[in-house]
Structure 1
Amino acid sequence: MTDGIAQGREDGMPLGPRGRHRFFRWLNRPRRLVRLSAGQRRRFILVVGNTIVTSGAIILQVSARGNLVVWTLALIAVSLITGILAIGTEWLISEGAEKKASEDRRAGWPDSRVVDGAAPLSLELPPADEQFVGRRLQLDQLRDMLRRTANDGRGAPVLALYGMGGVGKTSLAVQFAEEVRSEYPGGVLHLSLSAGGTSGLDAPDPATALGRLLAALGVRAGEVPPEEEARRRLYFDRLVGRRVLVVLDDAKSAAQVRPLLARVRGCATVITSRRPLGLLEAVPFTVGGLDDDSLRELLIRHVGARRVEEEPDAARQIIRACGGLPLALRLVAARLAADGHRTLAELADRLSLDEFRSGDVRVRDAIEVSYAELSARSRQAFRLLTLFPSISLREWAPAPLLDIPVADALEVMEDLVEAQLLERAARGGSNGTEYRFHALVREYAEERLAAEETPEDQRVALARLGGAFLALAEYAEHLTDPTVPRHGRDGGALPSSAEHWHVDDPALLRYAEYGPTRWLLGDCRRLGRMVERTHEAELWDLCWELSVVLARVLETVYTVWNRWDDVLRNGLDAAARRGDRRAESIIQQGYGVLRHYQDRFDEAEQHFTIALRLCREIGHRPGEAYTLRWIGRGHYFAGRFAAAVHELEQALELSRALGNKLAEARVLRDLCEAYAGLRRFTDAEEAIRAALALFEGDAVDQGADWDVRQPAEAARARRDLGVLLNRRYKFAEAEQQLTSAVDTLTELGHWYWRASAVFDLAMLRLRQHRPIEAEALMWQSFDTFNDSGYRYWTAVVARRLAMLRLEQGRVEEAVELMMPVLETFQHLGLGLWESYTLRVLAWARREEGRLDVADQHLEDAAALAERYQDPWGLMRVHWMQASVWMAQGRTTDAVRLYRDAAATAARYEEPWQEAEILADLAKALRATGDRAAAARAEAEAKEAAASFEMQQAGTSRRMRRGWRRWRSRTMVRSRRRA
C-alpha cells in the first residue's frame, strides 16, 4: 500500500482520531450497515421485525388475559410500531449511504476502485469472443463439474483449465463465465495474472492482486490493509453472503493463485494456466485443440465460405498445419483476410512456424515463454527429443539422449508436459507412457536443436539413442527366440562393434522384458527409422546391427510397415562397408522374406539364393537351414511341390542336427503343405501333428515370451491340420481345429493368419453343405486381404467366390470376379494358380454356351498343369474338358479323357471324385452305343460311392444326406451338359 492509505486494524475498520471517547466510536458502528448488500439489509430488517412482533405477542398474552378488545388494540399498535421501525431502518441505511458519499466527496477521497494511486480499475469480464466456435462439449463438461463440485459439501468450486499457449483457454473461460453469469448475482470478476493482461498492468503478486479484487468489491482505498494476510481475510469477508465468480487468467504458480481463490460458500473460481499448478482445491480440466470441423468453420468466418470451397485441399492443409490451435488458425486467417488476392494454396505451400503471425502476435511467442521457464536439463531434452525416430515418444527417451539414469527420464518428460510442450499420447503397457510433440512445437524444438546443439553433439546423442534401441531390440529378440544369441555376448554369432547404451541396465531392459514380441511389433517402425538416421549420420555399425535384428524378425513384423525396402537397403550398404558377410546374409534373408510377402516370388528366390551362398561360404549352418526353409516355401507358393519338398527336407535334416526344435517345428509345418500339394496326405498329417506336438509341448524352449508366441505358432499349425483334415473328409476334427485356430488368432490380433484360417473354415462349411455361412466367411477374408493389399490371397479367395457364384447359377457375376483374378496370377507369375483360374473361367464359358472359348481355356490350363507337374490339377482340367467335348459332339475323345481322369482319382484314393467321373464316363459310353461298358462304369461308380460312404460312416446323418443330394445334383448337371 502507498503512504496515502491509513493504517487499519485486522478487521479492516479504520481507527478514529486519537483521544475520541469510546462512546462516539461505538456510535459509528451503524455505518457498517452501509456496507451490507441489499440481501443482507433485508435479512437484518426481517430479524428486527420478527423480534418486535414476537415480543409484542408475549406481552399481549401476559397482559390481555382474554380481553379481546385490549388484545386487538395492542396487536394493531405492535404492528404499526413494527412497520415504522422497518421503514426507519431502511431510511437509516439509505441516509447513511448518501451521507457517506457526501462525506467522501467533501473529504476529496479517491474513487473506491482506485488502488495504490492507479486509475479506476475494472475487473469486468472482457468481451466474449465473437469468433468462438466449437467447445460445446467442453462447456457442458465445465458446467457439470461446477454443479457437481458445488454440491459435494465444499460449496465453493475451483476449476483449473490447463493447456498450451494458443489453445484457447482464456476464450473458453470467458465464454463459460458468460454462460453461468446469471447464477452469480454478486458479479463476475476477471483478473489477469500475467504482464500486459486485460487490465494493462504488470503481473501482480498476491498482495497486489488482492488489492485489485478488494477495490472491485467496493472496498475504499483507505480501508485496504497493507498486509497480505489481512487483505486475504478482508477479501473473504467481502465475499460472505455474495455469489461471485472469479476468473483468474494465466496463472503462473500455486503460490500466486491460492490466496485469490473465492473459497466462500456460494462463490466459485475459474483458473487458466499453461501448466498444472498442483492445487489440491482445484478440479483440473485439460483444454485440448479444436477439431477439424470447428477450425474449418473458424476459417470460413475469417476468409469467407467461397474461398474455402474453391480450394478445399489447401484449406485442409492449413487446418492440419494448425494442429488444433485456434490461435494459429486465426493468425493465418487474418493474413488471408487482409490480402484478398492471395490464394489459400500459396500460403499452404509455404506454411512454417514463422507464417503463424499477424502484426505483433505470433505463435512462436507463446512457445518461447514456456521454453524459457524450463530448467537447463529440460531445455536440452526438449531439443534432443526431436532426434527420436517418431512423433510418439517413449518415456525412456531422455535417458540416452541426455546420458542420465533411466529413472530420471520420466521426471524430465513430465516437466515438459507441465510446460505444455509435450502431451501424453497413451498410458500403460510394458512400454510405459507415450508422449507426443505438437507439430508447431516440434518445429520450434528443431530450430532450437540447430541453434544450440553442434552437429557433433547431435551425432553423439543419436549414437546413444541408437545404442539404447539396439540393446532393447537384441534383448527382445533373444527373449522371443533364445536360439539367437545376443550380439557381443559369449558364443554370439555376430561380434558387436556398435556402442550399446546401458546394455545390461534392468531399468532400460524392463521395457522389452514383459512383452518382447509386442515390443518388436510396436517399435519396429522406430527401429526402421533409426536405421535410416544412423545411415545418414554414417554410424555404420549401428546401422547394420539394427538392420540385422529387423531382418531376423521380419517374419513377425512384416505387416506393420511399408518402408522395409529403404531399411534393408541401408543396412545392406552399411554391412558391405564393414565387410561383414554374416550380416549381409541375414539382410539378404530379410529381403527374401519381404519379397515373398509382397508376392514377388522370383525376386524372393534371388535374395534367398544369395543368402544361401553366403551362409555356406562362411559355414553358418543355422542360417543355411533357415534359408532352405524359405526357398522351399517359395517353391510351394509357385506350385513347384516336388522342389518344395526337396528343399524343406534338407532344412528339416539340418534343424534336427543343430537341435533347433523351433526351426524343426516350423519346417514340419511347411512340409505339411508341400506334401499335401503332392497328395501325400499321410506324410502331411504326420508332419503337421509332429509340428503341433512341438509347439504345444515343452520341447521348444522359447523363454519369457513363449506364452505369447506359442499360441500363435500352435494356432497356425492347427489351421494347417484343419485344412488337411478337410481335404481328407474328416470334418468333425477339421472343424474343431479350424475353429480353435480362428478364436486364438482373433484373440491375439494376428489378422493376416486369422483371415487365412477364416477362409479355410469357409471351405469346410462348403463341404458341410452350409453355403450361406461359407459365403459370409469368404467375404470376411476377402475384405481383410483386399484392404491390406495382399494380392495373392485376395485372388485366391476371389477365385473361390467365383466358383460359388457358378454353383448358384450366377454366371455373369462369376466372370466379373474371375477376370481380375486371372490378371493377378499372370502378373505375379504364378502359373499353377493361373491354370486353376483358367479352369474355372472355362466352366463359366461352358455355362454361357461359348464352347470354343471354354475349350481354349482348358487347353491353356492343361499346358500349365503339365509344366508344373501337377497331375491332380491336370485331372480336373481333363474332366471338365471331356464335358465340353461331349457338348461339341466329340464323344470318343471325351471317353478317353474321362478314363484318364478316373484313373488319376483312383491313384490318389479319392473315391468321391472317382465316382463322379465314372458316372460321367457311363453317360459318354452310352452315347457311343457301348452299353456294356457303360454298365461296367456305372457299377464302378456305385462301388466308389459306397466306398466313400463307408469312409463317412462316422459323420452325421445330415452330412450323409447332404452328400447324397450333392451327388444327385451333380448327376443331373452332367446329364444336362451331355
Structure 2
Amino acid sequence: MDPAGGPPAMRYRLLGPVEAWSPAGERLALGTPMQVRLLAILMSQPGTGWSIDQLVDELWHGRAPKTAAGNVKTYVWALRRALRSPGSADPAILAGATGYHLAALDAQATDGVAFDDLTQQGYHALRQRLWSDAQRAFEAALALWRGEPFAGLPGWGVLLAVRARLQEQRSSLLEEVADLHLRAGRHNELIEPLRTQIDGDPLRERPWGQLMVALARSGRRSDALATYRQLHRLLSGEVGVEPGPDLQDLHTRILRADRELLPTGARPPEKPVPQVVPRQLPAPPALFTGRTRELARLSALLLAHDGPAGTAVVTGTGGVGKTWLALRWAHDNLHHFPDGQLHVDLGGFGTATQEASPSAVVVRSLLPALGVKPLEIPAEPAAQFALYRSLTADRRLLVLLDNARDAEQVRPLLPGSAGCGVIVTSRHTLPGLVAAEGAHPVALDLPSAAEARQLLVRRLGAQRAAAQPAAVDELVSRTARLPLALSIVAARAAARPTFALQAIADDLAASRGGLAALATDDDATDLRTVLSWSYRLLSPDAARLFRQISLHPGADISAAAAASLAGAPPHLIRPTLDELTRANLLAEQSPNRFHCHDLLRAYGAELTDAHDSAADRGAARKRVLDHYLRVARDGARLVDAGRQPVDPLPGPACGSPPAFTDHRSALAWFTTEQRVLLATVDEAVAHRFDTHAGQLAQSLTPFLSRLSRWHDLAAVQTTAVTVARRRGDPCAEALAHRDLALAHIQLRRYNDGRRHLRHAMARYDQIGDRPGQASTHLHLAWVYDIEGDPRGALPHARRALALSSGSHDRRGEAAALNALGWNHARLDEHTRAIAYCEQALALHEEVDDRVGTAHTWDSLGFAYHRLGVHPTAVACYRRALALYSDVEDQCGKAETLVRLGDAHQALGEHDTSTGLWREAMAILDRLGHPQAEELFERLAAYH
C-alpha cells in the first residue's frame, strides 16, 4: 500500500535512464526507443497535457514523417499496454482536453518530482536556519540521481530544457551542501569532493571559492592562493574574463590573512559580501629593469598609512617609460588596494584620434567598471562626475590615468576618497594639478647607462653581449638610453643573431632623422634615427602599409581592415603584417588584430605626409571607411532584418570583409570593433566623408540598441544629424533624428525624445516618406505607452496603420496593427486587441519578420492574460520566448518572461512563476534595466 492508503502505484524514474516499475516492484519493458522518448516527454512536465502536434515536434524535432500523427497514437497505445497494472482497467496514459498526460504523477510516482520536493524542503529549512534539516533534505535529493537525466536519449526540445534545469539544480544543491559542511567546520573532508566537483564543471565559480575557503581554514593558505591562480588562468584562457567580484574579494581576504579564513575549528564562515571590484590594469611590462629610486618614490607617496594615499604625476619625454614604471609599481602593490584598480588611457598625445574627454571616460570606462548599469548613468557631465566621486568615496582604489594632456583632463577624474591612490602619466609637468590638487611630481629621466645596458643584455642574451661589450655600450649611447628606442634596437638585433652588434651600431650612427615631438638639443636623443633605421629595412609594401596605418581611426586594426587600407587582397597583406610585427613596428595583440604604439603612429604620420600625396592619403582613408561601412551595413541587416539603408554605398570596399553566417557572427564582429567603429564615425566627419559618417551611424544603431549602449547611440546619432544637415539630406536627417529619439527615450529623457521625433516627422513630411512617417508615429505611440497613457498612443498607432497601408509597407502595417492590439489590451478592450494582433501576426509571418512576430505573440499573451484565459496566454508567451531566444533579443525575452510568470501566478503555479521572474531579473540586471529592482522586490515579497 502507498502512504495514502490506496493501492500501490506505478513508479517512474528519469534521473538516469528512463524506467518504469510496476506496483509489484518489477521493471517494465517500455518497447522501442521512440516509445521511451514519448514516456520521457510525458514525465518531463508533471500535469502538462501534450497535444498530438506538440508530441510530433518533440519526437521528431522538425523532421517528422507524413505518418507522424498516426505513429504517435500507435506509441501511446503500445505504452498503455506496457504500463498497465494487473487487475486495473485504468490506463497509465490519459487523454484530456489539453492532450495526453500520465496518471498519478506525484511525489510518490516519479523521482523527478521527489527531487523537486526534497529540494524545496531543503531551501525552506535553509530559510528557517535549520542547517541539519536542510542538509538531510539536500542529500536525500542528490541520492535519487543514477546518472544524467533521460540518459541515452537525444537532447532537444523539452528534454534538453528539463535536463539542463535538473543538472543546474543538482549543481546548486552540491554547492549548498558544501556550504553546510563549511558551516559545520568539516573543511578537510570537503577538499577532495570539491576538486571532483570542479573537474566535472570547471567554469562554475562557486565551488572554486568553497575550495579556497576549505583550504585556507585547513591551514593551507598557499594552496588556496594557488587555487585562485589556477582559476584565473582557466577563465582568462577559456573565456577571456577575470574571476567574479566575490572570488576576487575572497582572494584579497586570503592574501590579507583575514581572521575568518584562518584555521579556527568549526566556526561557521560568512559568505563574502558581493562587491564590484574592478581589475582594469593591463599586464605588467615584461622587460622592466631598474628604476629603483622612482619605484621607492611612488611607494613613499602612495602607501602612507597615516594619511591620504595621494596623487603622483609621473612626467617625462615620450618613450622614456612612464607607463612601464606606473604599471610595474601598480602590479607590485596590488595588495595595498583591495577595492580594485581603474585604468584609462586618456589619449592626450595620440595621433589619429582625439584625446578622451573626462565625461566620455567616466561614462564608458569608470562608472561601468564600478558596477553602474547604462540606464543608471546620469545625462549631465556634472552629475556623472558626482556619481563617480560618490562611488569611490570610502574605498581604497588605485587609479591609473595614463597619457594625460593637461590638468583639466585629469581633475574631474580624481576619486572622491583620500584613501585612493592615483598615478597620472604625462609628457607635461601639469603644474596646475600640482599647485591646486596637491599632486606630487615624479620626474622620469633617462635610465642610467647600467639600467639601459641591462635591458639590452636581457634581450640579446648574456653570451652575445659579453662577446661584444663595446658594441653594446655604443648601442646604449646611440639610442640615448631611451627605453622605446632600446627595445626596437634590441628586437632588431635579436631577430638577426648572426649580425655583429658593432655593424648594427655603425648603421645606427650613419642614420639621420627624428620625431619633431621628441626632438631635443642633443642629437643623441633623436628617436627618428632609431625609427628611420627600422623603417629603411622594410620592404616597399611593408613601408607603405606602416605609413598608411597612421591614417587608421584607431590604434587597433584587424587584418581585413589593413587589407582595405592598403588596397591589397587579404592573402597578400598577412606577410606584410608579419614583417611589421617582426620589426616591432606592430604588435599582434590577438589573432589577426594588431596594435601600433602612438609614437610609431606619429612617425608614420610624418612619413605619409612626406612621401604620399594628399590624393593617396585621401584614397587610403576612403578605402578603410568603405571597408567598415560595407561590413557594418551587412552586419546591421542581419542584426535587424527590417532596417534598410537610406543611401547606396559610397564605394566598394577593397579586400574581403568578414563573412557573416548569421546575426550571432555579426554581433561578435560589432563587439570586437565597437571602439574603432565609434572612432571611425568621428574620423569620417573630421575628413569630410559625411556620407560615410551618416551611414556608419545608421549601421551602428541595431548593435548599440541590442547592447543597451544608449549614451554611445546618442553620440553617434547627434553626429549623424549634423552631417545630414551639412549634406542637405532630409531623408538621412529624419532617420538620424528618429534614432536619436530612440536613445533619449531609452535614457528616460522623454521630452528630448519627443523633440527629435517632431524633427523627424517634419523631414519625413517634407519628402513625403510615408513609411518614415508611420515609423515615427509608432515611436510616438511607444512614448505614450511607456508613460502610462495607452489611449494617447492609439491615434498615433492608427495613423501609422493608415500610412503603412497606403504605401503597401507590409512590415510597417504589421507593426502598427500590433501597436493597436497592445494598447487596446492595456485598456482592457480584449476582443479588439486580439483581432488586431491576429492580423498583425499573419502579416509578420508573411514578411518573415521574426522579431515582429515575437512582439505580437507577446501582445496576444498579454491580451489573453487580461481576459482571464491564462492557459492560452501561457502558450502565446511561450511562442514569443522561443522567437526572442532565437534572435538573441534579451530585453524582449526578459519582458516576456515577466509576463509569463504573471500568467503562471494567476494559474496558482507559484514556483513556476518565481522561477521565471528570477530568470527575467538576471537578464534585466545584466542590461541595467530599472525593472530588475522591481522584480527583486516582488520576489522578496514571496519569501
Same fold (TM over 0.5): no
> Which of the pair is proportionally richer in helix?
1
Larger radius of gyration: 1
- Structure 1 length normalisation: TM-score? 0.43
